[in-house]
Amino acid sequence: MTTPVYQNFINGDFLKNQSGETFAVKNPATDDVIYHVEVADSFVQNAAIESAKQGFAVWSAMAPIERSRILLKAVALLRERNDLLAKIEVLDTGKPWQEAECVDVQTGADVIEYFAGLAPAQVGQQQMVGEDFYYTRKEPLGICAGIGAWNYPLQIACWKSGPALAAGNALIFKPSEETPLGAIKLAEIFTEAGVPAGVFNVVQGAAEVGQWLTHSPDIEKVSFTGEVGTGKKVVASAAGTLKDVTMELGGKSPLLVFEDADISQAVSAAMLGNFYTQGEICTNCTRIYVHKSVYQQFIDELKTRTEQNIVAGDPLDPSVNFGALISKNHHNLVMGYIEKGISEGATLLTGGKALRPESAPNGYFVAPTVFTDCTDDMTIVKEEIFGPVMSVLVFEDEDDVIRRANDTHLGLAAGVFTKDIKRAHRVIHQMQAGICWINSYGNSPAEMPVGGYKQSGIGRENGIETLDHYTQTKSIYVGMTDIESPF
Ligand code: NDP
C-alpha cells in the first residue's frame, strides 16, 4: 500500500523540494509507516525565508484588529475540525484519543484566541520630559522561528504561532520529525482563514533543519521546545547572530504531599502528573515526596488505582486511557531507566515492564511504573525520563523537603498538597520552579504564563507577558523646543 507524501508548506501552499529526500513517520501504537514527508532542502529553506519576508511586510502593516479577526477565523476552523486534528495527533504521537479529543486541539485554539484578543490591546507609552516628550511603539521582531517537540505537536505549533502572529511577526515552524503533520494542518487552516502567504511556513526535517533556523541571519528570534541539551545547542547557535531566544525545556518536578492532604486528590494528581500522555509531559511531577505519616496510605491507594484504572491499548479506542511511547528508541530509553531504578535499589511497587496490549501488540508501550523506597541520589530521581515512571520518596520535615525538592538544576514545575492555607503558600513560594500548583496539578490555561526556572527554560509562553517576547519597543523622542548646541 502506498502512503501519502507531504511537502513543506511555504508561501501559502505546498512546495516540492529539489533533493527528493523524504523521511518516514510511524504510528507508535502499530509500528507501521503511515506517511512520508519531504525534507526542507536548501531550495525550500531559501523559499521559506523569501516568502516570510514578503508575508511579514503585508502582515505587520495590517491593523492589529484585522490580524485579530483573521486569527479568530483560524480558531473557529481549529475547533470545527477538532476530531480530524485530534485523530492526526493520536496517530502521530500514540497518545489516547480520550485526551487528544478534548485537550490537544482545544488548548491550542484557546491560546491563539487569547493572543488574537490581545493583539489590538497592545499600546505604547507617552510621557512628557519637560516641554519635549517621547512615545513608544511595540513593533514586531520580523521573521521568527519555532522549533517543536513531539509530545504535543499541534498544541506547541499553536502556542508559538498565536503570540508570534498576533504581534505581527512571520513564523517559520519546524515540528519534530516524529510528528510533522499537525503543523501542516495548522498552516492550511491559517491560509484558509486569510493569513497572508508566507506568514506561517512549515519546514520539515530533523536536527539539521533546526540548526539552519538557529543560524539563519534573516531570523530574529527562536522559540524552542525540547530537551535541555538541545536547548543549550540552540542558544549557542542563536548567539552567532544574537537572536532572541525563548526556551521551554525539560523538568524533574517535585510534588509535596503533606500529612493533612486529601490523599485521594494527591494520588489523582500524582497519576495525572506521571501517566497522562503516557508520562511524556515536561511538567510531570516525577518526584513525589510524601509525609511519612501518610506514606503507606498514599502508596496503597496509588498501587490499587494504577493497577485497576489504567487501560492501555489501541489509542483510537475511546475507552483506552494510556497510549504508546513515541518511538522504539524512546521505549528502550525508558526501559533502561527502569532497569537502573531496580539495580540502584528502588522497590518496584507496580509496572516495570513493556506491555503488549491485545488491541495494539506492536506498539511501544511501557506499563505505568511506580518506584518506592527511592533516595535522592538515584538516577531515576535525578534525570528526566519522559515516560510513565514515578519515584516516591518519604519526608518528615518541611524545611528539609523544600531543600530536597529544590536540589536539582531543573526548575520547570512544582506542586503541594495540604489543607493548611499558610503552609501551602509558604512552601510554594520557596519552590524554585516557574509553574506551580496548590492542591492541583497540570492545568495550564492560556491566561497563565508558563516557563522554567534554572535550566528548564528562558522566557515564558502564554499569558500577557509573552507578547513582549515577540515585540520590540521603539522609543521616539519628540523635540518641541529648539536644540541647544555648543557647536
Ligand atoms: P529534542 O530536544 O530532541 O527536540 C526538540 C526539537 O528540536 C525537535 O524538533 C528536534 O528535531 C529539534 N532539534 C534537535 N536538535 C536540534 C539542533 N541541534 N538545533 C535545532 N533544533 C534541533 O526534544 P524532544 O522532541 O525529544 O522532546 C522531549 C523534550 O521536550 C523533553 O525534555 C521535554 O521535557 C521537553 N518539553 C518541554 C516542554 C516545555 O514547555 N517546557 C513541553 C514539551 C516538551 P527532530 O526531533 O526532528 O530531530
Query: What whole-number distance in Å separates Cα of residue 254 and Cα of residue 289?
Result: 7
Distance between Cα 186 and ligand 1 center (Å): 19
Percent of the chain at pLDDT above 70?
100
> Which residue minimizes the CA distance to atom 5 of ligand 1?
226
Stretch 453-469: mean pLDDT, rounded?
97
With a cut of 90, say whether residue 1 has pLDDT above it.
Answer: no
pLDDT tens figures, 353-410: 999 999 999 999 999 999 999 999 999 999 999 999 999 999 999 999 999 999 999 9
Q: For the CA atoms of the chain, what is the radius of gyration?
A: 24
132-189 per-position pLDDT tens digit: 999 999 999 999 999 999 999 999 999 999 999 999 999 999 999 999 999 999 999 9
Model pLDDT, residue 200: 99
Could you identify the residue written with the cell 492501555?
A: 312
Q: Output the nine-digit C-alpha cell for 423.
A: 503552609
pLDDT in tens, 184-234: 999 999 999 999 999 999 999 999 999 999 999 999 999 999 999 999 999
Taking the complete model, does pTM exceed 0.85, yes or no? yes
Question: Residue 156 C-alpha to ligand 1 middle, in angstroms?
Answer: 11
Per-residue pLDDT, 2: 85
Task: Give me the sheet containing 5-6, strands edge to edge.
Answer: 5-6, 32-38, 22-27
The residues that are catalytic are 160, 248, 282, 461
What is the DSSP secondary-structure string of 354-412?
Answer: EE--TT-TTS-EE--EEEES--TTSHHHHS---SSEEEEEEE--HHHHHHHHH-SSEES
Q: What is the pLDDT of residues 19-64, one digit of tens each?
A: 999 999 999 999 999 999 999 999 999 999 999 999 999 999 999 9
The average pLDDT across 122-129 equals: 97
Pocket of ligand 1 (CB under 6 A): 147-151, 174, 176-177, 206-207, 210-211, 214, 225-227, 230, 233-234, 248-251, 282, 384, 386, 412, 457
CB 348 within 8 A of CB 369: yes
44 Cα to the center of ligand 1, angstroms: 22
CB contact burial 172-195 (16+ within 10 A = b; e otherwise): bbbbbbbbbbbbbbbbbbbbebeb
